[in-house]
Structure 1
Amino acid sequence: MHDIKWIREEPEGLINALVRRGTDEAEAKALVDGLIALDETRRGGIGKLEELQARRNAASKEIGAAKKAGENDRAEALMAEVGALKTDIPALEGQVKAAEGELHNRLAAIPNVPLPEVPEGADEHGNVEIALVGQKIGFPFVAKQHFEIGEDLGQMDFEAAAKLSGARFVVLKNKLARLERAIGQFFIDTHTEEHGYMEVAPPVLVNDAAMFGTAQLPKFRDDQFAATREITTAELSEFGHTSGKASGAKLASIEMMMLSEAEKDELRAKAFGEGLQELLDYKNSGNLWLIPTAEVPLTNLVAQSILSEEELPLRFTALTPCFRAEAGSAGRDTRGMIRQHQFNKVEMVSITTPEQSADEHERMLSCAQAVLKKLGLHFRVMTLCTGDMGFASAKTYDIEVWLPGQGAYREISSCSTCTDFQARRMNARYRPAGAKAPRYLHTLNGSGVAVGRAMVAILENYQNEDGSVTVPEVLVPYMGGLTRIEKN
């Protein structure tokens, strides 16, 4: 979220940022001009509203004075003026509220400003490699992909998952199920015991405000899974009993129409009485979202708060399931565990002052690299260009692990600094030592790392010619001493 005061004072700053992110310059200028014009309307309305309110208060006092002085005609005129103001003020309040809402919505749709050092580019081809760690393994046989290895072991079952949930899910069995658990435990232990992160076990269902705060909503609504609640027969019955706005015949038809989302939309469009709409709104107000990453609940731990500078930085980590709809990814990574609707991930989140955030970003990257080094995996570190980094990010490092079965590097961690972009959306602030006015915090997040993709990398890099998989040394204690995973 951006500060409209900054946009008013430095419009070129946002225009240049949008152009760096790939927006046409004329389009960026029109967008910024529109924001400033809308803000002028809002501010003008507020000023006019304050004038009318002041005049209403003054006129109300003058009425009493006029009556006391026997000036009845003047008192009547003043009463008429106050009556008109009581009509004009609510109308103007509505206009101001509408302008504020529209301004908020427009600002919420604008991405973060890239830091000056972020390389410019249109897509992933503009990313810059800044580090290469380890070496590719040379196999004396043709390396298999992870899903071939897992299926040959009899411990990775996509067909069973499809029966249960559909495409982009997997059932892990026996030692691979334990391996996934071992990887996640190893990551969380390393970050808490060696890197100073506080472990958190957060909810995996969050509300609209939390999703808005970290910028998953509204722009990326289609990428999320919502947990909705159906209206029950008992609620329908209670509604019919108390509302008086719908007949029993309507209720019967309504209950039948609860079978699909399309029918619900049709129901709303037909507007079967205000009472029913209230019931639907009540049902929808309880909707929650399955988290796409633990970044959402961890970062929102400081939402709507003012911290002291002495508390910072805060460092949180969590191992959670994550859920992504993968909208727009049809045909991409359809086989295997690379792009799943449900996966486990260890997330790192840091809350800092503006002065701490750059160093914290480098620290977070080193923590993500550390667990991969311990696993003996070959990877490279990329600085993402302006056209490839995320909506809320001001600068992002991606870690891409080498997958010999695919013969390609694939992302396994992404570490981003969001500066004060998320903090503004969730009103998260701190009070500097000796200062009266609070400032917005800086927030950072990074994968520490994706458990499923780490398993993919282990299977492909530790595969043996006989189809077995060697367990990385650091994971052996987590596997109960098992050093090799073999076919069932």
Structure 2
Amino acid sequence: MLQVAFIRQNVDFVKERLGVRNFKDLDLVDTIVGLDDQRKKLQLETDTTQSRINTLSKEIGQLMAKGQKAEAEEKKQEVAALKSALAPIADQLAGVESELNTTILRLPNLPAAPVPRGKSAEDNVTIREGGSKPGLPAGAQAHWDLAKKYNLIDFELGNKITGSGFPVYINKGARLQRALIQYFLDYNTAAGYTEFQPPIMVNEVSARGTGQLPDKEGQMYYVTEDDLYLIPTAEVPVTNIYRDEIVKEDRLPIRMTAYTPCFRREAGSYGKDVRGLNRLHQFDKVEIVQLVDPAKSYEVLDEMVAHVERLLQSLDLQYRILRLCGGDMGFTSAMTYDFEVYSAAQEKWLEVSSVSNFESFQTNRMKIRYKDAGGKTQLVHSLNGSSLALPRIVACLLENHQAEGYIALPKALHSYFGADRID
């Protein structure tokens, strides 16, 4: 969430940055300033009236002590009139504050300076590529056919039990899932991240804190009876661990990692792009989150990008890193890098990770702060990344490492999976 004071002082800059995002409703900025003007006026009126009431109340006590009851009674009547006048002002103030808070939540984060202008994925910028394109055997198959051939994943059974987008992993397919999760967690903890196992349902305050609400309300599964949301990513519960806390500066950076199942309705998804593991309603993901000193957040962003890149390199997959344009970034992000892996059998790039710096957008909502060397309370910056999301990694591992009669596994997974191949 942007801070009102910052918006007031930088109206033109805020509109220019939102324009980089291709955000259309720029009038919201003026609306916010106007609502804040109303709030200030009503607050001044409230404070002035309350101050007068306090002064009169003190004078009434003094008059009563002197036995001047008639004069005291006059002032009591004046106090009663002021209190009567104050009630509708207080109601107005509460209404304006509520509208201001609701309106400011509709503004996305401001893109950082290096973020390119653009409207869609077509305008993203490739930063670098790595790995090499695999040489596939004759008759190479897509992962949904390989999953059936080696009895790894049953998509039809998942559809029977739950519905489309909820696959059932079987035998070596289930073992591969566990192997990847454990490998990713071990890789992250070896780099200094503390592992957490958070709840997979969160309350509205937590979902609003990381920016899923109100932006992605229609994409989240909602448990109506208990007013809880199934998480779309571990980012939500993990970042909220420090909500409403002031951490000591020497504790920064705080590095956290977690494995969770993730749930996304993905309303409107259809066609070949959702076949197999390409897009699911439930999937597994290992996440990394950092809370850092604001002066170091872009340095940390580069470190996190390098961390995920090394992980992908260890899986022997062809990949590329994209800097997202303003129009393709998530609502809460100030800068995002996407990692895509090339699916040789499908002949397309598949997103497997996003690494983002949110600056103070999330931490302002959650009031995650620290005290600097001068004793001043400041908002920390938050960052997160997928390290990694499993479905498309599995898809590319199966497709890109298929051979005649088996699927070879990268060396990094041999000890975790207990074998060097799937056959």
TM-score past 0.5 threshold: yes
Partner of 1:160: 157
CA distance in 2 between partners of 1:121 and 1:83 (Å): 59
**TM-superposition CA deviations, 1:239-258 (whole Å, max 9, x none):** xxxxxxxxxxxxxxxxxxxx
Partner of 1:147: 144
Quote the RMSD (CA, aligned, Å). 1.6
1:442-453 equivalences under 5 Å are 442-453=381-392
1:204 CA displacement: 1.2
Partner of 2:330: 390
Partner of 2:81: 84
CA distance in 1 between partners of 2:295 and 2:81 (Å): 53
Partner of 1:272: none
Pick one of 209, 213, 217 that aligns with 1:213. 209
Go from structure 1 to structure 2 and tell me whether the alpha carbon gap of 1:183 and 1:86 turns closer, same or farther (over 3 Å shift).
same
Partner of 1:270: none
Go from structure 1 to structure 2 and tell me whether the alpha carbon gap of 1:67 and 1:351 turns closer, same or farther (over 3 Å shift).
closer
**Correspondence 1:412 to 2:352:** yes
- Paired AA for residue 12 in structure 2: E
**TM-superposition CA deviations, 1:442-482 (whole Å, max 9, x none):** 0000000111221111001111233x3122222111122x2
Pick one of 453, 468, 474 that aligns with 2:412. 474
Partner of 2:420: 483
Pick one of 355, 358, 361 that aligns with 2:301. 361
- Range moving further from structure 2, 52-61 or 32-41: 52-61
Pick one of 113, 132, 137 that aligns with 2:134. 137
Partner of 2:393: 454
CA distance in 2 between partners of 1:315 and 1:66 (Å): 63
Decide which structure has the larger Cα Rg and report it.
Answer: 1
Q: Could you tell me whether the CA contact under 8 Å between 2:142 and 2:399 is conserved in 1?
A: yes
1:58-97 equivalences under 5 Å are 58-66=55-63, 74-97=71-94
Pick one of 254, 257, 261 that aligns with 1:321. 261
1:69 CA displacement: 6.4
The DSSP-based 3-state class of the residue aligned with 1:436 is coil
1:248-397 equivalences under 5 Å are 286-331=226-271, 333-397=273-337
Pick one of 447, 462, 465 that aligns with 2:404. 465
The DSSP-based 3-state class of the residue aligned with 2:382 is strand
CA distance in 1 between partners of 2:269 and 2:81 (Å): 57
Q: Could you tell me whether the CA contact under 8 Å between 1:115 and 1:395 is conserved in 2?
A: yes
1:154 CA displacement: 2.5
Partner of 1:53: 50
**TM-superposition CA deviations, 1:137-179 (whole Å, max 9, x none):** 1224143111111012223111111111111110111111101
Gaps of 5+ in 1: 230-285
The DSSP-based 3-state class of the residue aligned with 2:178 is helix
1:63 CA displacement: 3.2
CA distance in 1 between partners of 2:146 and 2:68 (Å): 97
1:20-31 equivalences under 5 Å are 20-24=20-24, 27-28=25-26, 30-31=27-28
Go from structure 1 to structure 2 and tell me whether the alpha carbon gap of 1:477 and 1:69 turns closer, same or farther (over 3 Å shift).
closer
CA distance in 1 between partners of 2:35 and 2:265 (Å): 35
Partner of 2:176: 179
CA distance in 1 between partners of 2:130 and 2:351 (Å): 14
**TM-superposition CA deviations, 1:208-260 (whole Å, max 9, x none):** 1111111001221111112333xxxxxxxxxxxxxxxxxxxxxxxxxxxxxxx
- Paired AA for residue 203 in structure 1: P
CA distance in 2 between partners of 1:418 and 1:311 (Å): 19
The DSSP-based 3-state class of the residue aligned with 1:317 is strand
1:66 CA displacement: 4.9
**TM-superposition CA deviations, 1:255-300 (whole Å, max 9, x none):** xxxxxxxxxxxxxxxxxxxxxxxxxxxxxxx422111111111111
Partner of 1:112: 109
Gaps of 5+ in 2: none
**TM-superposition CA deviations, 1:170-201 (whole Å, max 9, x none):** 011111110111111111111112x2211111
CA distance in 1 between partners of 2:205 and 2:377 (Å): 22
CA distance in 1 between partners of 2:323 and 2:130 (Å): 15
CA distance in 2 between partners of 1:354 and 1:288 (Å): 32
Under a length normalisation based on structure 1, what TM-score does the superposition of the two structures give?
0.84
- Paired AA for residue 328 in structure 1: G
Pick one of 174, 190, 196 that aligns with 2:192. 196
Go from structure 1 to structure 2 and tell me whether the alpha carbon gap of 1:64 and 1:473 turns closer, same or farther (over 3 Å shift).
closer
CA distance in 2 between partners of 1:67 and 1:316 (Å): 63
Pick one of 341, 347, 361 that aligns with 1:421. 361
- Paired AA for residue 22 in structure 2: G
Go from structure 1 to structure 2 and tell me whether the alpha carbon gap of 1:39 and 1:155 turns closer, same or farther (over 3 Å shift).
same
1:23 CA displacement: 2.8
1:367 CA displacement: 1.0
CA distance in 2 between partners of 1:455 and 1:191 (Å): 19
CA distance in 2 between partners of 1:169 and 1:333 (Å): 16
Under a length normalisation based on structure 2, what TM-score does the superposition of the two structures give?
0.96
Go from structure 1 to structure 2 and tell me whether the alpha carbon gap of 1:148 and 1:396 turns closer, same or farther (over 3 Å shift).
same
Go from structure 1 to structure 2 and tell me whether the alpha carbon gap of 1:416 and 1:77 turns closer, same or farther (over 3 Å shift).
same
Q: Could you tell me whether the CA contact under 8 Å between 1:183 and 1:454 is conserved in 2?
A: no
- Paired AA for residue 268 in structure 2: G
- The percent of aligned pairs where both chains have the same amino acid is 39
**Correspondence 1:35 to 2:35:** no
Aligned length: 423
